[in-house]
Amino acid sequence: MLAEYQITLPAQTVDSAEPKGKALLETAKANLGFIPNMYANMVNSPGLLEAYLTGYASFRNDSGFTAPEQEVVFLTISRENGCEYCVSAHSFLADKKSGLAPEVTDAIRDGTPISDAKLAALAEFTKVVSGTRGLPSKAGTAAFLAAGYSERHILEIVLALSVKTISNYANHLFHTELDPVFAGRRWNDKG
């Protein structure tokens, strides 16, 4: 899904970014080996990229979710928001880094049932929190908690929603081009 309006600010590089943005891009390049197109666009607002990176790192390091569960949350949010870039990137990460079973990744991408009951409950509750704007029902919350998650996990989903809202919306507005590294898992909001 892409916005009707496309932001025309140029993608930034380490050489063209303002000082705060330059530091963020240098760190990204050191950590990832490249600067994702998403970061090169978002750094036009260094505070936006900094907020994204800080929240993303907090979720990855401190959420209490396993790496596969983290991808379920990020993929579910990105699919719900129709973010072609993030669904593609997180599909790649699920396959190569997080250890999420490809059939789970594909089920989320395709909008079909997830066979793993606990991961299905996580994806469903993530959709509920997103779709209700943080107003899940008692019954929906009880099902999530019964699947083995905690109230803290609810707050961590809120963190993931904030992080993915930043990246998904920025990608919609920039029409961010998918990086070649993620191309094998390209997705569009039509399926």
Q: How far is residue 28's CA from residue 26's CA, in Å, rounded to a whole number?
A: 5
CB atoms inside a 10 Å sphere around CB 140? 17
Are 11 and 178 in contact by the 8 Å Cβ rule? The answer is no
Distance of CA 148 to the CA centre of its chain: 23
Ordered per-residue pLDDT tens for the chain, 191 residues: 799 999 999 999 999 999 999 999 999 999 999 999 999 999 999 999 999 999 999 999 999 999 999 999 999 999 999 999 999 999 999 999 999 999 999 999 999 999 999 999 999 999 999 999 999 999 999 999 999 999 999 999 999 999 999 999 999 999 999 999 999 999 987 75
What are the extents of the domains in the chain? Answer: 19-185
What single-letter amino acid sits at 38? M
Write down the pLDDT at residue 21: 97
What is the CATH number that goes with domain 19-185?
A: 1.20.1290.10
Is 13 buried (19+), middle (13-18) or exposed (0-12) by CB count in 10 A?
Answer: middle
Instruction: Report the C-alpha gap between 113 and 155 in whole angstroms.
Output: 24
Per-residue pLDDT at 66: 98
